[in-house]
């Protein structure tokens, strides 16, 4: 599970940092605990091992093992966890399902790749913030419950702006953390 077969006859002090972390995880799991507490399990491990560990943790969880994870990698928590507690300076500031925490983010960001724009000041829709970093990209930020995407796209169409591609971005767990902790 932790891919240490080749190091079976090695002394632990001779292992690399990532291998030592794998050994610690194996030691924690050797007695098949019903609850597994993982403190930053992927810190200092390579991409392949991280992926392997998460697959194994998911399999353990499906088998009924409760996994308590502490991490600073919020994207991992968002991917791996059903419920999330956010702690700020020792205080519990949120405890909910991952989806309910993500639903707290009210803003939506849409980036339009366009053929060109001459004057962004012509793009006006009260409550929508339009910006442009170059002549081929327009970004619109708005409250997702206040506007429909069509409303925003119509402003571009009315200004004869040809839309070549669209990318949308909803908030993620990092945005929720920042919102809750003001950090």
The tens digit of pLDDT for each residue in 116-155 reads 877 788 899 999 999 988 888 999 998 888 888 899 999 9
Q: Which residues pair with 138 in a beta bridge?
A: 112
Domain boundaries, the chain: 5-102, 107-181
Distance, in Å, from the CA atom of 12 to the CA atom of 28, rounded to the nearest integer, reads 15
Please check the confidence at residue 70 and state whether its pLDDT lies above 80: yes
Please check the confidence at residue 183 and state whether its pLDDT lies above 70: no
Output the pLDDT for position 130: 93
| Residue matched to tokens 């006006």 | 124
Q: Is there a contact between 180 and 93 (Cβ–Cβ < 8 Å)?
A: yes
Output the pLDDT for position 35: 94
SS3 99: helix
Check whether domain 5-102 has CATH 3.40.50.300, yes or no = yes
Output the pLDDT for position 66: 94
* Mean pLDDT of all residues in 48-68: 88
Proportion of the chain in helix, strand, coil states, percent, rounded to 5: 40, 30, 35
Count CA atoms closer than 13 A to 130's CA, side-chain side: 18
Please state the pTM of the whole predicted model.
Answer: 0.67
Of the ranges 58-62, 124-128, 157-161, 168-172, which one carries the lowest mean pLDDT score?
A: 168-172
**CATH class for the domain made up of 107-181:** alpha beta
Report the greatest alpha carbon distance in the chain: 71
- Express each pLDDT in 6-27 by its tens digit: 898 888 889 887 788 778 888 8
Please check the confidence at residue 45 and state whether its pLDDT lies above 80: no
Distances (CA, A) of 94 to 71, 79, 153: 15, 17, 35
Output the pLDDT for position 145: 82
Please check the confidence at residue 56 and state whether its pLDDT lies above 70: yes
């Amino acid at each position: 599970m932790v891919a240490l077969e080749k190091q079976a006859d090695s002394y632990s002090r001779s292992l690399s940092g990532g291998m030592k972390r794998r050994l610690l995880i194996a030691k924690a799991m050797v007695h098949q605990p019903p609850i597994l507490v993982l403190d930053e399990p992927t810190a200092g491990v390579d991409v392949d091992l991280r992926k392997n560990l998460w697959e194994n943790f998911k399999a353990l969880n499906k088998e009924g093992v409760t996994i308590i994870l502490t991490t600073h990698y919020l994207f991992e928590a968002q991917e791996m966890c059903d419920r999330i507690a956010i702690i700020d300076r020792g205080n519990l500031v949120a405890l909910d399902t991952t989806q309910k925490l993500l639903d707290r983010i009210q803003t939506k960001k849409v980036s339009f790749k366009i053929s060109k724009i001459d004057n962004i000041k012509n793009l006006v829709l009260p409550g929508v913030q339009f910006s442009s970093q170059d002549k081929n990209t327009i970004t619109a930020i708005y409250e997702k419950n206040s506007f429909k995407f069509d409303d925003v796209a119509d402003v571009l169409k009315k200004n004869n702006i040809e839309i070549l591609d669209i990318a949308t971005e909803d908030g993620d767990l990092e945005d929720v953390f920042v919102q809750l902790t003001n950090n």
